[in-house]
Structure 1
């Protein structure tokens, strides 16, 4: 009985926590933006000009403008210079680097670099791991890596921030019919999430034909 109750509690937490954490982050952003920027707007504008929610709107505008500016090379260079302060500060550098790597892993810019989800065969065994092709053009590889018919594949680690970038012959790689987001989620959770229902439905007709 106790095992039954514990199992269902854990199942409920797994289902609810992602939703609650997402809603909490949105709530935190809304409250923080309204508190900080709303107070600034109230100080600059007459009282009868201020409306509740202007702080949140200003926060979204700041984030949007920041995203636009980050597309400029000069802003990217200045931002990179500023980040060096965090990367060279004891204690802070470890925390900041972990947070930066986590968000870079899921950023739209990083996803564009992943050209294809693939299965990589390990050695002479039948064992395979999921990876992402990050560089398939020999001319863009380091000079010593420009071997014939080789590509760079990123192999992420489950439940961890990080992975390995390995040089692999194309013959050891098999393309997978998975979206980048699905493959990332599948890999990071060590396959616990399983194949999305939409993908299962797509594969069912093929399975019957075989």
Structure 2
């Protein structure tokens, strides 16, 4: 009986990740395929070819993102994007949604800041209990001044949903930088601590900090 149970569990561990991956990929492809609807009907691939090819919307999405990025990166494009953003920020309700989404995208996808680049170990919610956190900022001028501490802003994710959590500010002397990557830490959080990354004996990097922040 134990052998049967072991085989069933082994089968579940093989098929569940494959099934979830397949469903998520199919959902993403179906969503991006809907972008083909922006093309005139006579130019849509289904009409030209006479049959449907899944995934063509992915190609169109990549092309649109690339062209948009190329436009926004040049002088004229920056002025166009700036004018569009100025218009969006003047609409009462839209400006809150657009501004929040833009700030989040800049934090997550920009390479020019230190947000979500380091995995930290902090004592929370009390001394002697440790939890994972992500560094989101070290430029806390007012907080540094008012507390007299060298403080790091940390995001403590909840499990199994790491998109929610707490923002806390911890003195640098109480923060430990881990060698695991952000992806490894997210897997650990989502798996409820079951998936633990293999530890590599490497020297832990210092937390980046700008004087006078």
Normalised to the residue count of structure 2, the TM-score between the two structures is 0.61
The secondary structure found in structure 2 opposite 1:113 is coil
Q: How does 1:82-121 map to 2 (within 5 A)?
A: 84-85=93-94, 107-109=108-110, 112-121=114-123
Q: How does 1:149-160 map to 2 (within 5 A)?
A: 149-160=150-161
User: Which residue does 1:24 correspond to in 2?
Assistant: 26
Kindly provide the CA deviation profile for residues 3-49 of structure 1, in whole angstroms up to 9, marking residues without a partner as x. 44653453234321342034313431453234x14544628xxx79x
Of residues 122, 130, 133, the one that matches 2:132 is 130
Could you tell me whether the CA contact under 8 Å between 1:37 and 1:58 is conserved in 2? no
Q: 1:114 to 1:59 in 2, by over 3 A?
A: closer
User: Which residue does 1:14 correspond to in 2?
Assistant: 16
Kindly provide the CA deviation profile for residues 60-103 of structure 1, in whole angstroms up to 9, marking residues without a partner as x. 32233445677756244555667935979xxxxxxxx9xx7xx9
User: Which residue does 2:183 correspond to in 1?
Assistant: 181
Which has the higher mean CA deviation after the structures are superposed, 130-139 or 169-178?
130-139
Could you tell me whether the CA contact under 8 Å between 1:39 and 1:55 is conserved in 2? no
* Root mean square deviation, CA, Å: 4.3
Which has the higher mean CA deviation after the structures are superposed, 114-123 or 24-33?
24-33
Q: 1:69 to 1:79 in 2, by over 3 A?
A: farther
Q: 1:66 to 1:29 in 2, by over 3 A?
A: farther
Matched positions, count = 181
Unaligned runs of 5+ in 1: 89-96, 205-210
Q: How far, CA to CA, are the matches of 1:82 and 1:12 in structure 2?
A: 50
The secondary structure found in structure 2 opposite 1:178 is coil
Q: How far, CA to CA, are the matches of 1:65 and 1:145 in structure 2?
A: 46
Kindly provide the CA deviation profile for residues 144-187 of structure 1, in whole angstroms up to 9, marking residues without a partner as x. 75532222111111122311111211222111012122222222
Q: 1:155 to 1:76 in 2, by over 3 A?
A: farther
Could you tell me whether the CA contact under 8 Å between 2:108 and 2:115 is conserved in 1? no
